[in-house]
């Protein structure tokens, strides 16, 4: 046998041995577009990285996150990727990272993700058999409105607001503002808004083109330029079915991808025509900030938001702006 053939045979044997040694895992992955969508694309480089961790990960796309979550519970997959709204049922601490007004700047976002990438913080991301191994942002949520006159909290009164997947904080905001909450899912909200059945919708800039929300904005609608909170997608696993260090490896992976995420979000915001952005007055900003705090505290009292997560987010906000009035009273 020639040296070239020996080398080729050795390479084949090594590849076969590595493939056999890898643990095969499946993650049920919500992506609004499907297997060729933005979420699947984001995780496209994880598969080769995971080989170094001894894993062969298969990402299966779902266009309905509730189905993905149910399949995860039923044992169809060892991990699932869903929004923080649905993720809260598995790990309340991680699911509270999308608290309204909780994270308000890119700097604060970077700090919280870096903090959670510390191995000592791993226990916070675990609840019973579940672990949130990754929590990555999809940009800040803005209020999309079908009429530019809806530019103050007072104007929310009497309007129909989308409440995605029974999200308690959006429901609370609607009640406090005197608006009518309308239950939606990720499969129905865009149609509801685009058909005029909803007046106000909270979504990140990435949703503008992905869900064709320009149809609902039309000629009269707009987007309040106030950043309400960071929307989060989360990957959750059944901890005992993965290597012990998988969660920490994944959280470090997200921190390393943050530059890519921020650029993707920034590009999406720039793609929205300038005519749609509504300048939010200082008075409205102050009112929304107060609403946000009242909602967080009410949901903490109701046991629907994790107290430790809210306190950590408060510490990060007050480290950035110690003079803020909220910093006199910890959450």
* pLDDT reading at 10 higher than 60: no
Is the pLDDT higher at 18 or at 274? 274
d(Cα 29, Cα 68) in Å, to the nearest integer? 7
Same domain, 104 and 23: yes
Q: Is the domain of 56 the same as that of 120? A: yes
The closest alpha carbon to 216, from 186, 250, 193, belongs to 193
Q: Say if residue 147 is in the same domain as residue 182.
A: yes
Instruction: Read off the pLDDT of residues 94-134 as tens digits, 9 standing for 90 and up.
Output: 999 999 999 989 999 999 999 999 999 899 999 999 999 99
**Do 219 and 300 belong together in one domain?**
yes
pLDDT tens digits, residue range 303-318?
999 999 999 999 999 9
- Same domain, residue pair 76 and 210: no
Instruction: Name the residue range of residue 215's domain.
Output: 141-229+275-328
List the CATH number of the domain containing 180.
3.40.190.10
> What DSSP string describes 164-221?
ETT-HHHHHHHHHHT-EEEEE-TTTHHHHHHTTS-SEEEEETHHHHHTTTHHHHTTT-
**pLDDT over 90 for what percent of the chain?**
81
Asked if 133 and 46 sit in the same domain, the reply is yes
| Residues 209 and 254 placed together within one structural domain of the fold | no
Rg (CA), the chain: 22
Chain centroid, CA 273 distance in Å: 24
* Number of domains present in the structure of the chain: 2
Q: Are residues 203 and 85 in the same domain?
A: no
160 and 97 in a common domain? no
Say whether both 78 and 172 belong to one domain.
no
Say whether both 148 and 255 belong to one domain.
no
pLDDT value at 207 more than 60: yes
Q: pLDDT tens digit string along 37-58?
A: 888 988 888 989 999 999 999 9
- pLDDT per residue as tens digits for the range 150-167: 999 999 999 999 999 999
pLDDT range class, residue 4, cuts 50, 70, 90? low
**Residue recorded with tokens 């913080």:** 121
pLDDT confidence band for 15 (50 / 70 / 90): very low
Do residues 203 and 300 share a domain?
Answer: yes
The per-residue pLDDT for 182 is 97
Q: Supply the angle between the helices 106-116 and 246-256 in degrees, to the nearest 10.
A: 160
CATH code assigned at 57: 3.40.190.170
For the chain, the first-to-last Cα distance in angstroms comes to 73
């Amino acid at each position: 046998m020639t040296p070239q053939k020996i080398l080729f045979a050795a390479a084949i044997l090594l590849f076969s041995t590595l493939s056999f040694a890898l643990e095969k895992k499946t993650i049920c992955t919500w992506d609004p577009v499907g297997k060729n969508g933005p979420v699947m694309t984001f995780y496209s480089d994880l598969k080769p990285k995971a080989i170094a961790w001894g894993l062969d990960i298969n990402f299966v796309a779902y266009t309905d996150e509730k189905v993905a979550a149910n399949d995860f519970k039923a044992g169809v997959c060892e991990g699932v990727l869903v929004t923080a709204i649905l993720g809260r049922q598995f790990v309340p601490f991680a699911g509270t990272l999308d608290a309204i007004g909780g994270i308000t700047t890119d700097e604060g976002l970077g700090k919280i993700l870096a903090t959670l990438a510390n191995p000592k913080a791993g226990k916070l991301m675990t609840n019973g058999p579940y672990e949130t191994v990754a929590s990555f942002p999809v940009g800040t949520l803005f209020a999309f409105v079908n009429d530019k006159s809806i530019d103050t909290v007072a104007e929310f009164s009497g309007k129909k607001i989308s409440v995605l997947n029974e999200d308690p904080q959006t429901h609370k905001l609607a009640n406090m503002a005197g608006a009518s909450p309308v239950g939606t899912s990720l499969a129905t909200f865009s149609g509801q808004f685009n058909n005029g059945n909803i007046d106000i919708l909270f979504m990140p800039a990435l949703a503008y083109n992905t869900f064709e929300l320009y149809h609902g904005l039309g000629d009269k609608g707009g987007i309040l330029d106030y950043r309400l909170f960071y929307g989060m997608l989360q990957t959750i696993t059944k901890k005992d079915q993965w290597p012990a260090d998988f969660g920490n490896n994944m959280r470090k992976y997200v921190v390393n991808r943050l530059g890519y995420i921020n650029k993707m979000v920034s590009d999406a915001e720039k793609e929205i025509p300038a005519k749609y952005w509504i300048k939010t007055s200082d008075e409205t900003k102050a009112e929304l900030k107060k609403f946000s705090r009242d909602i967080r505290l009410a949901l903490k009292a109701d046991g629907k938001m994790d107290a430790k997560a809210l306190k950590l987010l408060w510490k990060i906000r007050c480290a950035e702006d110690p003079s803020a009035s909220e910093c006199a009273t910890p959450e």
